[in-house]
Structure 1
Amino acid sequence: MSGVSLATGDSRLLTRPFVLCSLSNFLQGIAFCLFLHLPGFYSDLGASPVVIGWMFAAMSAVAIGIRPFLGTAMDRLGRRVPILFGNGLNVVVIGLYLTVDHMGPWALIVRVLHGISGATLFTVLFTYAADWVPPQRLTEGLAIFGVSGMAPMSIGGILGDRILADGSYSTLFLWAWVFAVMALLTALPLHDAPRRPPDPSKPRGFTAALTQRDLLPLWWIGGVFFAALTGIFIFLKTFIMAREVGSVGMYFSGYTAVAVVMRLFLGWLPDRVGPVRVLAPALLVFAAGFLVLAVARSAGMVLLAGVLGGIGHAYTFPILFGMVVKRASEQQRGSAMAIFTGLADLGAVVGGPLFGGLLEQTSYEFLYAAVAATVGLGLLIFLPWNARLMAAPGTGSG
């Protein structure tokens, strides 16, 4: 681990760099989560569920493509340069949504550029936070930092509902632009944590991190988790429109409220009892949220689905992120983080068209039941695979 907290033996979480990074992540997160309503905008422009899925997949495909370069840049240049680049691009791109008035090449270009800025910020801000978290409180620290990314889901959903009730999608995009500008201003004081000189005897780089044996099961289950999330982020808006129950804001209020509470007050649990012991039940509860959504016929059931999803997400993301940080060497942490966060985009590339096509041929009931089954199957594959690797000589317990 790197950073002042390691160099001084300081076990504090709320250092100035950590707090500023959290604030910047919170502000850009609101800007990003206002786009939870983007499928409705595309639908109003005449896009089908498959086209909407492909728009999100195209964004994610480009985001995946830049991950090797982003990981290398973080390892060689530090975190500050990519942070400023990502925030600056985000401000420009969000403004470009105001120029989209029909589905066509320009709409696709804007979405692709948004994928680049989003991928950069998602990757580098979490990596920056990990640099400043004390190693003995790693999962707890990442869980608390994750609150700055979870809370915007609720705020973006509710604020978006309010904006669209009285205004238009142009107003929504203007609000997102304002939050993006504030995120950029907040990121300006950030500076890199101290780093150890690289060990020339250890493999480094994107390929080394991608093929590292004890990271492979984490890439697998992370991919499953993020693919499942596309069922929420891409299709929840149209689900609400079709069922006419609840709202996006209601779902994410339940989702984020319980996740924030659990991370703030029970974020220490994985570090105490072991990450995998918490990960398995967390993923099962996460899957249960999709099953409730599949049969939801009332606002209360939509809220319950959000609560279950939030419980699962509250632990799953920081546990997997922390396990990646522990297993990756410090000199290739940037590349490992780029791969892990890239799984979110890979999940959209696979899940967007796949689930969109499944929805067109079946129903929302079948779609969300299939997502739940995917999570369960993914966990069944992960547990024995990870256990075998951790039992092998020369591997750790993370």
Structure 2
Amino acid sequence: MAKGEMMYKGKFKYIIFIITTSLFWFSLYAYVPIFPGYIEDLGVSHGMVGIIIGSYGFSQMIIRIPLGIISDRLNKRKLFILLGIISSFLSGLGLWLFSSALSMLFFRALAGIAAASWVAFSVLFSSYYRSDEATKATGYIMAANNFGQVLAMLAGGSAAEIFGARSSFLLAAAAAVLAFISGMLISENKEITRKPLSFAELASVGKSGNLIIVSVLAILSQFVVFATVYGFTPIVAESLGASSAQLGLLSTLSILPGIPAGALSGSYFSNKFGEKKTLFAGFIIAAFSCIAIPFAKSFSVLVITQVIGGFGKGVTLPLLMGLSIKNVEENKRGSAMGFFQAIYGLGMFTGPVAVGFISDIASLNAGFYFTAFICFIAAFTVKLFVKDLS
């Protein structure tokens, strides 16, 4: 009986963490499909739409490294997980209560602060596994992450369709409440022997030429994703007559292909074609999907462009993440990954901001063409500077 209870408690530890992770990401993404159009409908410029959307990446970029260092030094991850969930709750609730441009800027930035707690999630969950099972732990928690996002966008779009756009903010807050309840049951692991990161170490590993190139490519990759999928593609869909439920479907179908693409990029594609050709192809596919957006004259055609583009975009970031620590000394991998993850937040911010201002100055179509240009720059950067490391 005692053995059976131990097995149950062991399984419960993993299950409750997976549930908490899915609910957490659900709370951050429930309103994402309708958010750009919701902001635009309040009468603000595309430039302001971009700043509000980009604030999510900006706050992550600023907070992520300090949060990781503090949680390592205190050797407490559950505390920061719960604080992240509380931040997500306040973000959703604030967006539901207030609808001025400045309030949306503040509360979306607060969602970025919540997302920065992801480092605590990943470190704590990985500690439940042996060191040689790190990839298994990453696979499970990323699956929970993706499941939460996909379910959130489908549910959020449907809720907005039935109850109005603002209901998706309330749905996000409700998911955060559930995440907090399950998060209280998470098991802290006091035996983590992870050496705390330091700014000096990050600066040291940041001098690596390979890491700089890979990080720049990650910035460009996130630039494209946040300028299109989480930025201005939903506004194009609305102009084609898409409903809120269809916006949720569009966002879901934009990221779903990235799940198998990411899994295949670091294994099958890189083994068969090499990392260099795989990355190059991913950016080229993404470029043509951006070019195709202005030519989509129906919602169904727009969906096709995003499914294809989603596969291309899905190939790049997971492969770049792997390359950021490949051939890096074991004791410096944490620093390399910390540097990489902090840097690519710049793309999450600059993508929607740049396209927003280009849209105000020229047109939204010009913004998508510029995003395609960024993809081509990334592809030729790969061609010139990336070497296969297999």
- Whether 1:285 and 2:285 are equivalent positions in the alignment is yes
Query: Residues 103-142 of structure 1 correspond to what in structure 2 (within 5 A)?
Result: 103-104=101-102, 106-121=103-118, 123-128=119-124, 142=138
8 Å contact from structure 2 (residues 85, 114) kept in 1: yes
Deviation at 1:49, TM superposition (A): 0.9
Match in the other structure for 1:55? 52
8 Å contact from structure 1 (residues 227, 350) kept in 2: yes
Q: Deviations over 1:252-307 (max 9, x none)?
A: 33223333345568874257445444333223223232223232112221221221
8 Å contact from structure 2 (residues 211, 340) kept in 1: no
Q: Note closer, same or farther for the CA distance 1:96–1:115 as it changes in structure 2 (3 Å cut).
A: same
Match in the other structure for 2:3? none
Aligned-pair Cα RMSD in Å: 3.6
- Whether 1:222 and 2:218 are equivalent positions in the alignment is yes
8 Å contact from structure 1 (residues 209, 328) kept in 2: no
Q: Distance in 1 between matches of 2:378 and 2:265?
A: 25
Q: Deviations over 1:94-147 (max 9, x none)?
A: 22223213233x4433233222112223x4434556667888887787566434
Q: Distance in 1 between matches of 2:91 and 2:293?
A: 33
Q: Given the two structures, how large is their TM-score scaled by the length of structure 1?
A: 0.79
- Whether 1:83 and 2:81 are equivalent positions in the alignment is yes
Match in the other structure for 1:12? none
8 Å contact from structure 1 (residues 75, 331) kept in 2: no
8 Å contact from structure 1 (residues 139, 322) kept in 2: no
Match in the other structure for 2:144? 148
Query: Residues 326-365 of structure 1 correspond to what in structure 2 (within 5 A)?
Result: 326-327=326-327, 329=329, 331=331, 333-365=333-365
8 Å contact from structure 2 (residues 282, 315) kept in 1: yes
Match in the other structure for 2:208? 212
Q: Note closer, same or farther for the CA distance 1:198–1:249 as it changes in structure 2 (3 Å cut).
A: closer
Q: Note closer, same or farther for the CA distance 1:53–1:133 as it changes in structure 2 (3 Å cut).
A: farther
Deviation at 1:199, TM superposition (A): 11
Judge which range, 355-364 or 16-25, deviates more.
16-25
Match in the other structure for 1:372? 372
SS in 2 for 1:235: helix
- Whether 1:161 and 2:120 are equivalent positions in the alignment is no
Q: Distance in 2 between matches of 1:163 and 1:199?
A: 42
Q: Note closer, same or farther for the CA distance 1:61–1:257 as it changes in structure 2 (3 Å cut).
A: closer
Match in the other structure for 1:256? 255
SS in 2 for 1:71: helix
Q: Note closer, same or farther for the CA distance 1:136–1:331 as it changes in structure 2 (3 Å cut).
A: closer
* AA of the residue aligned to 1:269: Y
SS in 1 for 2:65: helix
Q: Distance in 1 between matches of 2:364 and 2:26?
A: 27
Candidates 166, 177, 183, aligned match of 2:179: 183
Query: Residues 19-34 of structure 1 correspond to what in structure 2 (within 5 A)?
Result: 21-34=17-30
Q: Deviations over 1:294-321 (max 9, x none)?
A: 3211222122122112212333222122
* AA of the residue aligned to 2:287: A
Deviation at 1:346, TM superposition (A): 1.0
